Amino acid sequence: MAAADVRPGEPADLDPRLEGTHIANSVIDLIGHTPLVRMRRTMEIEQLPSVLAMKMETTNPGGSAKDRPALEMILAAEREGLLKPGGTIVEPTSGNTGVGLAIVAAQRGYRCVFVMTDKVAPEKISLLKAYGAEVVVCPVAVEPDDPQSYYKVAERLTHELEAFRPNQYANPHNPVAHVKTTGPELWEQTAGRITHFVAGAGTCGSITGVARYLKEKNPDIQIVAADPEGSVFSGGSGRPYLVEGVGEDFFPAAWEPDLYDRIIPISDEESFLTARRISETEGILIGGSGGMAVAAAIQVAKEAGPDDIVVVFNPDSGRGYLSRVFDDEWMANFGFIRECDQCVGAVLDTRSPTLDSLLYVNPAETVRVAIERMRSNGVSQLPVCKNTPPFAAAEVSGAVDELELMESIYRDPSLMETTVEKVMGPKLPTVGVGQKLELAVRMLETAPALLVLSGGRPLSVLTRSDVLSYFEAVADG
Ligand SMILES: Cc1ncc(COP(=O)(O)O)c(C=O)c1O
C-alpha cells in the first residue's frame, strides 16, 4: 500500500492491489494519452489525398489540453520549492487552465483561488467551484491599474496568501508539458509517419512543445499554426475576434516562430461554421478554436500527398460553447447563418449602392465632422467605430444620432468641436443580415436604427425608412 505521505501522481504511489488491473491509480494518471482519430465523413475531408487525423484532447480528465501544462507547472513548482505541501495556487483564469489546475490541486492537496472578471459566464464560475476552487470576481469596467482590476487583485492575493502563481503565458514548463507528452504520443501513434501538425496557438505552449519534439525527431515535419484573423501571430494588430482561447494581442514567452513553417489566418465565420459541420458530420463535438484548426488543416491536407499524415490538434469540446457557436440565434445575430430567404439582407439589397459601404465615425473625430458626414450622406445615425474597416463587432463603441446631437448643441454650442466619444450614445441594437425581417421591424418600434452584422462584422445601418422603401418596392413588384 502507498505510504501516507506519498501523494497521487507520484511514482512511489503504487498499490500492489491494483497490479494486473486497468485501474488508474489517480485521475492524474489519466492526463495525456489522448486518442488520435481519422476524420473521414465530411465531404471535403473524404476527397483529400492525404490522411487527416484529430488529436482528441477532450479525453483528458478536465476535457482539454490544458490538463497537461497544469500538471507540469505544479510538479515543477514543487521541485523548485515554489509550492509547499498545503500551499495555495492563484491564477487569473476562467477557462480550461483553471480546470486543469483545480484537478491537480484536488489530488495533491492545494487550495486554488481563481480570479476572473464579471464578464465571465456563470457556468464557468460554477465549473471551477465544482472542482473545489475558490473564485474571486472583479469588475471588468475598471482600468488595468485600478486596485480592483483582475490583474491587481491576482497580484495582491498571490502576495497575501504567499501563493504560487503558475502564469501559463510566461511559464517555461507549459511548453515542456507538450515536449514530454503530446509530442511523443503523436510520434508513437503515427509510427513516426506524421508529416504535418496543425494547431491553434494561445500561450503557444502546445504548438511550440510539440514542434520542439517532432522537429528533433524529423526536421521535415511541417508545423502549422492556425490563427484568428486579427491576432498578432498571423500579422494582425491584435484587433478583436470572437473565437475563444486562441490568438493574442502580444507575443507570449513560448512564441518561437522559427519552429513554425506556416501560419494560416482563419476568420471567425470559417472557424464557427467548420466547428458546426465537423460536429455534425464526424460526430466529434468541437468548439470554435477546434473548428479554426480543422479549417487550416483542410487547407494543408489539400496540398499534401497521398502518403502524408496531417494531424490537427483539437484542444477542447464544443460543450463549452453551446450558448454561442451551437446557438442558432447567437450565430444568426452575428450574421454567421441565415434564418430565411427574405431577411434583413434583402432590404439592404434594394437600397442605393452608395450605402453599400459602412458609414461610421471614429470616436476621436469631432462632432462637426459627424454632423457633416450625416448630412452629406442623408443619414440620421452613425455607429462610432474604433480603428479602420473592416471592423469587428467589438470595435463599435457607441452611436451618434442627429436628433440627440441637435439637442445637446442647442444647450452647449461649444460641443461642436468636442470629440464624438464624449457625446456619443449607446450602441445601436444589432441584427444579423440573415435574420428575419419581422424581427428587425419589431426592434425598430423602439430603436431608431439597427446595426446589421454579417460574418461577425458591422455591415450597414438599417433604418425605418429603409424598411418602408423596401415594402414599397415589393408592393410595386
Ligand atoms: C480553448 C483553447 N485554449 C488554448 C489553446 C491554445 O493552446 P496554447 O495556450 O497551448 O497555445 C487553444 C488552442 O487551440 C484553445 O482552443
DSSP SS3 for 375: helix
Amino acid at 51: V
* pLDDT tens profile 376-422: 999 999 999 999 999 999 999 999 999 999 999 999 999 999 999 99
| CA–CA distances in Å: residue 464 to residues 32, 33, 396, 477 | 56, 58, 21, 20
Sites in the chain below the pLDDT cut of 70: 1-13, 354-355
Q: What is the dihedral of CA 452, 275, 32, 38, to 10 degrees?
A: -160
Q: How far apart are CA 298 and CA 300, in angstroms?
A: 5
Which fold would CATH assign to domain 67-160? Rossmann fold (3.40.50)
Q: How far apart are CA 223 and CA 182, in angstroms?
A: 14
Residues serving a catalytic function are 66
Cβ–Cβ contacts within 10 Å for residue 135, how many? 18
Residues 226, 297 contacting (CB under 8 angstroms): yes
Distance of CA 210 from the midpoint of ligand 1 (Å): 13
Q: How far apart are CA 28 and CA 78, in angstroms?
A: 15
Q: In this structure, is the dihedral angle defined by the CA atoms of residues 318, 319, 325 and 329, taken in order, positive or negative?
A: positive
| CA–CA distances in Å: residue 177 to residues 12, 101, 183, 193, 295 | 21, 13, 9, 22, 26
Instruction: Enter the DSSP assignment of 343.
Output: B
User: What's the pLDDT score for residue 8?
Assistant: 66
Which fold would CATH assign to domain 32-60+178-321? Rossmann fold (3.40.50)
Q: Which residue has the cell 462610432?
A: 384
Q: How far apart are CA 317 and CA 295, in angstroms?
A: 16
Q: What are phi and psi of 54, to 5 degrees?
A: -110, 130
Distance of CA 202 from the midpoint of ligand 1 (Å): 5
Q: Ligand 1 atom closest to Cα of 293?
A: 14
Q: Ligand 1 atom closest to Cα of 204?
A: 11
Give the closest residue (by CA) to ligand 1 atom 16: 289
Contacts of 257 (CB under 8 A, 6+ apart): none
Give the closest residue (by CA) to ligand 1 atom 2: 245
Q: Which residue has the cell 502564469?
A: 167
Cβ–Cβ contacts within 10 Å for residue 96, how many? 26
Topology match between the domains 67-160 and 331-475: no
* pLDDT tens profile 24-37: 989 999 999 999 99
* Domain chopping of the chain, boundaries: 1-30, 32-60+178-321, 67-160, 331-475
Distance of CA 394 from the midpoint of ligand 1 (Å): 21
Q: Ligand 1 atom closest to Cα of 206?
A: 10
Q: Ligand 1 atom closest to Cα of 320?
A: 1
What ranges in 62-121 are assigned the alpha helix state H? 67-79, 96-108
Distance of CA 290 from the midpoint of ligand 1 (Å): 9
* Ligand 1 pocket, Cβ-based, cut-off 6 angstroms: 96, 199-207, 244-246, 289, 293, 315-316
Residues 9, 28 contacting (CB under 8 angstroms): yes
Distance of CA 124 from the midpoint of ligand 1 (Å): 17
Give the closest residue (by CA) to ligand 1 atom 3: 245
Adjacent-strand bridge partners of 401: 381
Cβ–Cβ contacts within 10 Å for residue 284, how many? 19
DSSP string, 61-78: TTSBTTHHHHHHHHHHHH
Q: Report the first-to-last Cα separation within the chain, whole angstroms.
A: 85
User: What's the pLDDT score for residue 19?
Assistant: 87
Instruction: Enter the DSSP assignment of 182.
Output: I
Give the closest residue (by CA) to ligand 1 atom 1: 245
**Exposure string for 140-155, b = 16+ CB within 10 A, e = fewer:** eeeeeeeeebbebbbb
331-475 placed in CATH 3.40.50.300: no
- CA 327 from chain centre, in angstroms, equals 16
Give the closest residue (by CA) to ligand 1 atom 4: 245
